[in-house]
Structure 1
Amino acid sequence: MSGQHEAATASGAIQSGGDGRIHLEAGAVRALPRSGGWVVATSMLGLMLGYSTYISYVFGVFVRPLGAEFGWNRPQIAFALTLCNWFVVALSPLAGFLLDRVGPRRMLLPSVVGLAGMLFALAFQPGSLPVFYALHLGLALAALGTLPAVYTRAIVGWFDARRGIALGIALAGVGLGGIVLPPALQGAIGALGWRGAYGALGGAMLVLVLPAAFRFFDDAASAPVSAAVPVPTHGVANLREAARTRTFWLLMGIFVLLGTMTLGISASLVPILTDFGLSPQGAAAMASSLGVGVLVGRVASGLLIDRLPARLVALACLLASSAGLAGLSRGGADTGPLIAVCLFLAGFGIGAEFDFMSWFVSRYLGLRAYGRIYGWTYAAFQLGCGLGPLLMALVRERSGGYGPGLLGLSAAAALAGLLFLAFPPLAQGTKREASK
């Protein structure tokens, strides 16, 4: 039932209302949230300014100014992102465990404050590579509660029949960030310097995301946090049971490839475009084409997987990314329209990846251990994210260009799409059944 809400205390009775939601009698600890729609909207805003957007679109904006001021080369700077992502790999299973134990809201609020604090710390960094690396490790730790798992766990608890489109709208926040933040931060760097740009981003987290999350992000519809709350009966019971399924290992392999592809292009995009001959401002503006593709891909894939076989939707989206990346490998400053089209296609598949992660985990493996399973799947994704930017930087240093690396990312996208075909179809009317 779309929007169904399941939360009660031992002393609070549950009654089904005519509006399709579950209402609590007196004795419940907390009131029902105002609407699942507010949870979706808050999630979109948080993801727009959160960790996923930072590593995918924001980090690359600072590569050239940091290199110019401190004399760091691109592999040295990219290694911070590798450390950051691999630290998330190590911490994601723990984050998934905590998510199942305490719920999304209790993870999100302190994490927003911590992430903003680390962005302020980056603004005051002294120009030491070890400090730069340490700050990114701190950023990864602080950001654990802003990972997509936290937002999507609340959403899949609210929505069933319209789960795909709800996830698509919320996760479109990353695409919006990809459209808005690169040119905005490039402008901030021009006006305030790179330190001021870091500070402005941290301030936006505190001024926009924190109040919205405190006011509207209610996760009582999501995973239980005590034995008094009804436990979902669908899906595998724990991580050990999930690890015995082919579905789990398919997801792990697919998302290593998608992480490599996603961050390999998005974190390297501004340097790639400046190598093509675009100015930093022009590169930041052109990078918005990728964000537009991500935004459209998020919403379109979320809408389509509610109506069509999700395996085929995933294949089509990732083949679009593969084609865009292959085309981009031949780009140059004199082919601006072609670059924009290729970036849109690449972004279309990138925009779908977290829709697919949330949808396939919740449909094939269920909600009982969603946080733990998603945590490991996200760790696989982050493992690839740690490889992608570093490999792209090394390819550029050794070959003098990004073309071979872009072709490699194109192959990774195509292979991931083909692997989705290995999932068995879900029978009509039984989408909740786990596939062993």
Structure 2
Amino acid sequence: MPSVTDTQLAPEVRKRPSWLPHRAWLIAAITFITLIGAAGFRSVPGVLMEPLNAEFGWSHGTIGLAVSINLLLFGLISPFAAALMDRIGIQRVVSAALLLVALGSGLTIMMDQVWQLMLLWGVLVGVGTGSMSMAFVATVASRWFIARRGLVTGVLTAAGAAGQLVFLPLIAYLSENYGWRVPSIGVAVLALAVIPLVLLWLHDHPHALGMEAYGASDTQPTPPRAAIAKGSAGRAVEVLRAAARRPVFWLLAGGFAICGASTNGLIGTHFVPAAHDHGMPATTAAGLLAIVGIFDIAGTIASGWLTDRVDPRVLLATYYALRGGSLLVLPALLGPDAAPPMWAFIIFYGLDWVATVPPTVVLCQRYFGMSGPIVFGWVFASHQIGAALAALGAGVIRDASGAYTLAFLISGGLCFFAAALSWAIRRPPAVPHEI
């Protein structure tokens, strides 16, 4: 869409009736739907691990390697996608990303070689979903919201995370009754269906519509479009170099790497086969992960609400410590049935799943200002590096020992270390140090 510079805008180009919600909420709604659609395929690997093993003979470690490639690219592409959104716009980047997800998902029905699994699940879907990851959330929240930024970040984060999990029972049912290729086609169709919504309503910036961000004021104005439109791949690398000179970046990135290892990498990828090892049907285990997704929505929205009111550093340390304790007891809870202690774990883990995102996004904004979304893209890259290592490592541990127990214990211990890293973050400056 044509750009509108700040100097071309009158104080109020468009008058909005008082009863009409701010356009930012429509942007947030379209982003929510987009993230759910993009997350669909990322829920497939954990459920289809056993069917692929049965049909092709591929080991848990081999399939885990494909998932780890996906997770790694999902994170590494994020800061470049955020910079590309600055350069060519959100609509174009997100539409192209959804198309990649559809191609990667749909073409899997014809694969019969491991390299094809790596290319489709790993590369195409990894790049596609990575372009619509948490840096996308940070970009929308920072451009369209001044007030309620933490809450909106929590809601959008919940969409991306819950979308991966809520689809699990349906995918497991379709795979069990119709074969694993049917859900792959379904996810491709879903991704394609979201593209028209993006092209019609996911606008790039408030100033392009002649309005201000939600909650903008004289003291907290809308970020000017001119300041945002400098993005490029070179800009992403430049921001990384500058951020890497500050200890807070490494503290956030280190904690977030462990966050990824203990969620997407371990539980998201290996919970279903781990439960299956203990006699639990795959559909039951997938249903439990779907419950995680439902409670994740409540937990992440609540975390966003708390982030607007409580020191984000304290929230991060608390979330990581509680997660670590829950992982240490998980091996004792696994069994053929979903007993009450397992339900307690599922509910808690759902509330804590990505509750870490809103405080991390806000800390990036408070420390790095307008570069916050790109900095968060790099922090999120560390999240996916941790997830990739856990996806591969847990599969290797399962192949070598016949159980996932050691993987759960290691992850639990790392979460306590993440809590210590978060506690070591100093209080943010009153004015962000722009980079």
Question: Which TM-score band (shorter chain)?
Answer: 0.7 to 0.9
Counterpart secondary structure, 1:420:
helix
Query: Contact (CA 8 Å) 2:299, 2:355: kept in 1 or not?
Result: yes
* 1:417 aligned counterpart, secondary structure: helix
SS at match of 2:332: coil
Q: Does 1:212 align with 2:194?
A: no
Identify if the C-alpha distance between structure 1 residues 144 and 361 changes in structure 2 by more than 3 Å, giving closer, same or farther: same
How far the C-alpha of 1:310 sits from its partner, in A, is 0.9
State the 1:81 CA deviation: 1.0
Q: Does 1:158 align with 2:154?
A: no
Of residues 115, 118, 122, the one that matches 1:130 is: 115
CA distance 1:408–1:293, change in 2 (3 Å)? farther
Partner in structure 2 of residue 229 of structure 1 = 225
> What is the Cα deviation at residue 69 of structure 1?
0.9
Conserved 8 A contact 1:96-1:375: yes
How far has the Cα of 1:218 moved from its partner? 1.3
Amino acid at match of 1:213: V
CA distance in 1 between partners of 2:26 and 2:11 (Å): 23
Unaligned runs of 5+ in 2: 209-223, 229-234
Of 335, 341, 360 in structure 1, the residue corresponding to residue 344 of structure 2 is 341
How many residue pairs get matched? 405
After superposition, the C-alpha distances for 1:299-319 in whole angstroms (9 at most, x for unaligned) are: 111010101111111222222
> In the alignment, which residue of structure 2 is the partner of 1:43?
31
Quick check: 1:248 aligned with 2:249? yes
| Pairing 1:76–2:78 present | no
Match of 1:134, SS state, is: helix
TM-score (norm 1): 0.85
Match of 1:98 among 77, 84, 95: 84
TM-score (norm. length: structure 2): 0.85
Counterpart of 1:313?
315
Moved over 4 A (4+): 16-21
Cα deviation 1:251-286 (Å, max 9, x = unaligned)? 221222112112211111111111121111111112
Moved more, 302-311 or 10-19: 10-19
* 1:118–1:139 Cα contact (<8 Å) kept: yes
Equivalent position of 1:189 in the other structure:
175
Q: 1:412 to 1:313 in 2, by over 3 A?
A: same
Deviation, 1:98, is 1.7
Distance 2:83 2:198 in 1: 21
Alpha-carbon offset, residue 68 of structure 1: 1.0
User: Displacement, 1:108?
Assistant: 0.7
Report SS of the residue matched to 2:227.
Answer: coil
1:352 aligns to what SS in structure 2? Answer: coil
* Partners of 2:75 and 2:420 in 1: CA distance: 24
Aligned equivalents of 1:215, 1:435: Cα separation in 2: 33
Q: State the alpha-carbon separation in 2 of the partners of residues 381 and 202 from structure 1.
A: 26
Secondary structure in 1 matching 2:427: coil
* Distance in 2 between residues matched to 1:150 and 1:222, nearest whole Å: 18
Q: Deviations over 1:331-387 (max 9, x none)?
A: 1225522112112222332221332332221122112x2343223212211111110
Aligned match of 1:9: 5
CA RMSD between the two structures? 2.9
- CA positional deviation for 1:88: 4.0
Q: Tell me the percent identity.
A: 25
Counterpart residue identity of residue 89, structure 2: G
Distance 1:409 1:348, change over 3 A: farther
What residue in structure 1 maps to residue 96 of structure 2? 110
Query: Tell me, what secondary structure is at the counterpart of 2:413?
Result: helix
Equivalent position of 1:279 in the other structure = 281
Distance in structure 2 (CA, Å) of the matches to 1:335 and 1:140: 32
Instruction: Extract unaligned runs of 5+ from structure 1.
Output: 1-6, 22-32
Would the alpha carbon gap of residues 197 and 160 (structure 1) be closer, same or farther in structure 2, given more than 3 Å must change?
same
